Amino acid sequence: MSQETLAATPPRRRRMTARDVTESLRVATPLELLFDLCFVVAVAQAAGGLHHALTAGHFGDGLVGYAMTFFAIWWAWMNFSWFASAYDTDDVPYRIAALVQITGALILAAGIPRAFDQRDFTIAVLGYVVMRTALVANWLRAAVSDPEGRGTALRYAAGVTLVEAGWVAMLALPSGVRPWVWLLLACADLAVPLFAERRHRTAWHPHHIAERYGLFTLIVLGESILAATLAVQEAVDTRHATAGLYGVAAGGLLIVFAMWWLYFAKPAHRFLTSNRSAFIWGYGHYLVFGSAAAVGAGLSAAVDFATDHSTGDGVVPGAVVTVPVAVFLLAVWWLQHRPHQVGHLHNLLVPSAVVLVLAGTFTGVPVLIAGVVLTVLVVLAVVVTRRAGVAADGHA
């Protein structure tokens, strides 16, 4: 870091007061990067559970288990990131609280296999409670240090505590009713920020939030990169590799590259100007993150199908990849592209690509077709965007 940058960096404070939403040089801290790194384990566990469920033919149970466990991962990460954007002091108490939350994330990750295989959420809930308890402590500290945001901080602390008690109580209920109680508690968790910020908005930083979401997108894309790499390895190492395996290897790489390109094609911080836009964008990323990690699980399953390590009937070997790819495309289009008020032609590209990707499910090389479609989509999106930019400059 240069001397000029060091001089421009604002000093860390010892009181947990709200940060300036226009603060310059507001980027992810090393502590936040460590937090994300530890969440890689939880994401890998969830994706691994989905992969095994898909190859075993347990599609319904696998999807439900994945949706439930990934919700816990995503929501815990979201709460940490938004709080850090508003109140990160980087002092000793804050760092300790963050390390406690990381410990909770690792406990949650350790409990994911049980949640998948046995529907035993005891360890996962324990990890979740550890993370949330540290979060409550941070909100109480913010309530003491920031008089202007005290009401919001106290409402957050109360809301998180009540829902946390609900998660613990769920463990005592019969297994048959737990999924319905889980759904109720998930909705209650999602409602806490709406309740807490109804009168006063926390001072989150738009550019910092956009960067944090981009970094987590890279984490979940890592699952797809790993699966694509293993597909290439299988194709190279297997003497009698089939055309289907080569198609999975090539298509997987094209899919991952295109997913990265499409997500980062438009800057998100420009339209994060209100709580309403931020809530829609932030909550909607559950589909972005979840589908991106599911693509990795699907590619791993596709390798198993192509190498006869598992059997799938009908459209299953293709759907395990094309369906999450389609969800990712629609979510990114809705959240990242559409708010920029792109032209009608641009708005037609992604839905058309989704139709083609899903149609490829019924072919012999669905992963390769999905990769080619996404590559063409990237090329067309670049061309359309450049033409729109030239036209705008011409009218300026």
Q: Residue 312: enclosing H or E segment and its boundaries?
A: none
Q: Establish if 93 belongs to a structural domain.
A: yes
Domain end marker among 169, 196, 223? 196
Does residue 18 fall inside a structural domain?
Answer: no
Residues 165 and 287 occupy one common structural domain: no
pLDDT at residue 22, rounded to an integer: 72
The predicted pLDDT at position 239 comes to: 62
pLDDT given for residue 14 in this prediction: 57
Same domain, 179 and 52: yes
Same domain, 242 and 112: no
Confirm if 90 and 13 have CB atoms less than 8 A apart: no
Do the domain assignments include residue 17?
no
Q: Which of 167, 196, 225 is the last residue of a domain?
A: 196
The answer on pLDDT for 110 being more than 70 is: yes
Could you tell me the CATH number of the domain that includes residue 240?
A: 1.20.1410
Confidence at residue 336, expressed as pLDDT on a 0 to 100 scale: 87
41 and 168 belong to one structural domain: yes
Domain residues for the domain of 100 are 27-196
pLDDT one-digit tens code per residue, 382-393: 888 777 654 444
Please check whether residue 10 lies inside any domain of the structure.
no
Phi, psi for residue 353 in degrees, rounded to 5: -65, -35
- Asked if residue 241 lies in contact with residue 234, where contact means CB atoms within 8 angstroms, the answer is yes
Instruction: Say if residue 190 is in the same domain as residue 212.
Output: no
Query: Using 50, 70 and 90 to split pLDDT, how confident is the model at 369?
Result: very high
Query: Could you tell me the pLDDT band of residue 395, with boundaries at 50, 70 and 90?
Result: very low
Contact predicate 297/223, CB 8 Å: yes
Residues 245 and 389 in one domain: yes
User: Which residue type, as a one-letter code, is found at position 267?
Assistant: P
Alpha helices in the chain (DSSP H): 3-8, 30-56, 59-87, 92-118, 122-145, 150-170, 178-196, 206-237, 243-263, 275-306, 316-332, 344-359, 366-395
In a domain, residue 2? The reply is no
At residue 308, the pLDDT reads 67
Residue 343 has pLDDT above 80, yes or no: no
167, 220: one domain: no
In this structure, are 220 and 363 located in the same domain?
Answer: yes
Mean pLDDT of 174-193: 91
pLDDT of residue 391: 47
Q: Of the candidates 196, 230, 253, which is a domain's last residue?
A: 196
Q: Examine the domain organization and report whether 321 and 251 are in the same domain.
A: yes
Identify whether residues 246 and 118 lie together within a single domain. Answer: no
Give the total number of structural domains in the chain.
2
Q: 275-306 and 316-332 helices cross at what angle (nearest 10)?
A: 160
Give whole-number Cα distances, 378 to 321, 354, 382, in Å: 19, 13, 6
pLDDT of 310 reads 60
The DSSP-derived string for 220-238 is HHHHHHHHHHHHHHHHHH-
Kindly state whether residues 187 and 291 are assigned to the same domain: no
Q: What is the pLDDT of residue 314?
A: 56
Both 161 and 215 in one domain: the answer is: no
**Residue 51 to residues 199, 206, 294, 303, 317, Cα–Cα distance (Å):** 43, 35, 8, 11, 12
Do the domain assignments include residue 6?
A: no
User: How far apart, in whole angstroms, are the C-alpha atoms of residue 363 and residue 315?
Assistant: 8
Q: For the chain, how long is the longest CA-to-CA vector?
A: 69
User: pTM of this prediction?
Assistant: 0.87
Q: Tokens 């790489």 — which residue? A: 253
Map residue 38 onto helix, strand or coil.
Answer: helix
3-state secondary structure of 241: coil
Nearest partner of 35 among 94, 86, 87, judged by Cα: 94
The number of CA neighbours under 13 Å toward the Cβ of 347 is: 9
Mean pLDDT, all residues of the chain: 85
| 7 located within any domain | no
| Residue 229 domain flag | yes
Q: Which band of pLDDT confidence, cut at 50, 70 and 90, is reported for residue 241? A: low
Report, as an integer, the average pLDDT of 265-282: 83
C-beta of residue 367 within 8 angstroms of C-beta of residue 318: yes
For position 316, what pLDDT does the model report? 78
